[in-house]
């Protein structure tokens, strides 16, 4: 088992990967450097290997697929994940690693948004999207994560080996954040500087399509992780619609003693029944979520014992 593993998912980063590998070898000389190539066509893997990294491959396209492969294959006490585009300065790595090894953090977030991101990043819609995603997650999950979309993170062994990677692409950072918050793991923030990509290096993130995937991921996980709140909101909306249909019927009845608007009366009844059904669905799923949280804690205890044995070996 490695003490520290630096994980670098890469797709066509030939212009920057050599510098990234050398920078992190310099600040973390005791670390093992792993570059996972994701079907690059510009010899990224060869350059990384020449710089001294261990190169491995993931042939299913997408950052989420790469991270799934990395987390399955690498055994380490601390994992530091970075991008291969040289946008994250290496000098913050020792501090982030120390949060995991010395202060028992499960996930350390390299916070770009509190420093230079908004001035260095030249894509205004990315700036707006990052703020929107951060505010949405913090509001929905009652958290205080400073930067949700950052690719600069450190993880504990327990986080990596209990994190079920479901996303295939760039929405993986959102999934990591929500998982850590939902499972009550210790998350810390380290403010880092951010620099834009060097000239000739192109981002693989599509502002609109990937942004939509991220928002869809937030919506999906809010439904999965907070089912009572999610279905209660739906129930309240349905109940409000039912009341809107019923009020005119009630006013007419009070004035005339008759109910001539039977379609509206029947529709109001269906909406109220649907509201009640939605709330009961939320209650049922909430019980299942509580059971899932219980089972997760038991798996976490088992993983802690396994981690202790592997450290001794």
DSSP state of 169: S
Read off the pLDDT of residues 255-270 as tens digits, 9 standing for 90 and up: 888 878 888 889 999 9
Pair type for strands 153-156 and 76-81? antiparallel
Q: Which CATH architecture has domain 2-224?
A: Alpha-Beta Complex (3.90)
Mean pLDDT score of the chain: 88
The upper half-sphere exposure of residue 44, i.e. CA atoms within 13 Å in the direction of its Cβ, equals 27
Identify the pLDDT of residue 313.
66
Identify the pLDDT of residue 246.
93
125: number of Cβ within 10 Å: 10
Q: Are 225 and 141 in contact (CB under 8 A)?
A: yes
Read off the pLDDT of residues 9-48 as tens digits, 9 standing for 90 and up: 999 999 999 999 999 999 999 999 999 999 999 999 999 9
Instruction: Give the burial class of 84: count Cβ atoms within 10 A of its Cβ; 0-12 exposed, 13-18 middle, 19 or more buried.
Output: buried
Q: Is the pTM of this model over 0.85?
A: no
Cα 286 off chain centre by: 22
Read off the pLDDT of residues 280-308 as tens digits, 9 standing for 90 and up: 999 999 999 999 888 888 888 888 888 88
Structure tokens at 85: 């585009």
Residue with tokens 């760039």: 170
Read off the pLDDT of residues 71-129 as tens digits, 9 standing for 90 and up: 999 999 999 999 999 999 999 999 999 999 999 999 999 998 887 665 555 555 556 66
């Amino acid at each position: 088992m490695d003490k520290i593993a630096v994980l670098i998912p890469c797709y066509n980063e030939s212009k920057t990967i050599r510098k990234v590998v050398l920078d992190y070898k310099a600040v973390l000389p005791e670390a093992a450097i792993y570059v996972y190539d994701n079907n690059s066509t510009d010899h990224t893997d060869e350059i990384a290997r020449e710089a001294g990294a261990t190169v491995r491959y993931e042939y299913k396209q997408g950052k989420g697929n790469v991270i799934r492969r990395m987390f399955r294959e690498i055994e380490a006490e601390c994992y530091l994940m970075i991008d291969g585009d040289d946008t994250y300065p290496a000098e913050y790595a020792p501090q982030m690693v120390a949060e995991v090894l010395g202060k028992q953090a499960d996930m350390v977030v390299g916070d770009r948004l509190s420093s230079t991101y908004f001035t260095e990043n030249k894509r205004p819609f990315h700036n707006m999207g990052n703020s929107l995603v951060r505010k949405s997650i913090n509001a929905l999950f009652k958290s205080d994560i400073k930067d949700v979309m950052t690719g600069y993170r450190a993880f504990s062994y327990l986080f990596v080996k209990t994190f079920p990677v479901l996303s295939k692409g760039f929405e993986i950072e959102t999934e990591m954040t929500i998982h850590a918050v939902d499972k009550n793991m210790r998350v810390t923030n380290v403010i880092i500087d951010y620099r834009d990509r060097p000239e000739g290096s192109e981002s693989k993130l599509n502002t609109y399509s990937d942004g939509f995937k991220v928002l869809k991921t937030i919506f999906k996980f809010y439904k999965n992780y907070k089912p009572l709140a999610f279905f209660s909101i739906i129930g309240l909306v349905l109940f409000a619609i039912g009341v809107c249909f019923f009020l005119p019927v009630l006013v007419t009845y009070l004035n005339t003693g008759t109910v001539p608007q039977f379609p509206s009366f029947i529709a109001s009844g269906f909406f109220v029944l649907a509201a009640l059904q939605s709330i009961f669905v939320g209650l049922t799923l909430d019980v299942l979520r509580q059971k899932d949280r219980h089972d997760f804690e038991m798996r976490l205890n088992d993983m802690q014992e396994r981690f202790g044995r592997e450290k001794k070996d």
